[in-house]
Amino acid sequence: MGADILDTARGGGRTVSLTFDDGPNPADTLRLLTVLRRHRIAAVFLLCGGQVEAHPEVVRRIVADGHHLGNHSMHHDDMSTWSAERIEADLRATNEAIRRAVPAAKVRYFRAPYGAWGATPAVAAALGMRPLGWRLAVGDWEPPGTDELVRRLLDGVTPGAVVLLHDGGGDRSQSVAAVDRIAPVLRARRWRFTLPAG
């Protein structure tokens, strides 16, 4: 692939990293930020450029709350068959949209829409971003109900896992509610929430 895809949380042992795709989405992202603040969790938000352009104020809130940013393409297209030049143009446009919202923003990560990587890892790495995968995806895009998401998260988490969740791309209220419920349970089980290792 040309660049390693990161899927490990920072720190050893019972660590887990929460990541959120497809936003910003005002209704659910803002509620999620409140939940993360209450539980003292720093997360990664993988942003779509079109959503950033529509909701720059939400991006500013994400950064003000101390979370990290990632590039998730302009319009959530499958980039797996794109040329490196086309990918680079899209990733640059997305980063520029993010920096128009937050001029000093560091865009540390890139995640390919649909996990369809193609040539994107090498292009992202050349632009200074770590390709960010995941070890646990709980299928919250379905959405299966908050109770089921909680079960999938608590049963599926493994030491050092990067977890794929969503705050955009539809109604993500179940995802927000699930994070609010699992955070104290995992903490009681001696899990630590960290950022990805890279």
Q: Where are the alpha helices (DSSP H) in the chain?
A: 26-38, 49-54, 56-64, 84-101, 120-126, 146-156, 173-188
Mean pLDDT, range 40-46, rounded to an integer? 98
pLDDT tens digits for range 145-161: 999 999 999 999 999 99
Cα gap 196→68, rounded to integer Å:
10
**% the chain with pLDDT above 70:** 99
Residue 3 has pLDDT above 90, yes or no: no
Q: How far is CA 15 from CA 25, 76, 113, 194, in A?
A: 27, 29, 25, 6
Tell me if 86 sits within 8 A of 118, measured CB to CB: no
Cβ-based neighbours of 41, under 8 Å, separated by 6 or more: 18, 179, 183, 193
**Residues tagged active-site:** 21, 166
pLDDT tens digits for range 119-147: 999 999 999 999 999 999 999 999 999 99
Cα gap 41→37, rounded to integer Å:
6
Residue 108 has pLDDT above 70, yes or no: yes
Cα gap 27→143, rounded to integer Å:
16
Cα gap 192→183, rounded to integer Å:
10
Measured from the Cβ of residue 40, the count of other Cβ atoms closer than 10 Å reads: 10
Residue 2 has pLDDT above 90, yes or no: no
Q: What's residue 12's pLDDT?
A: 84
pLDDT tens digits for range 159-173: 999 999 999 999 999
Q: Which CATH number fits domain 15-193: 1.10.1740.10, 3.20.20.370, 2.30.110.10, 3.10.25.10?
A: 3.20.20.370
Q: What are phi and psi of 129, to 5 degrees?
A: -115, 145
pTM for the model stands at 0.97
pLDDT tens digits for range 62-105: 999 999 999 999 999 999 999 999 999 999 999 999 999 999 99
Tell me how far the alpha carbon of residue 183 is from its chain's centroid. Answer: 17
Token pair of 8, please? 């490990």
Q: What's residue 198's pLDDT?
A: 73
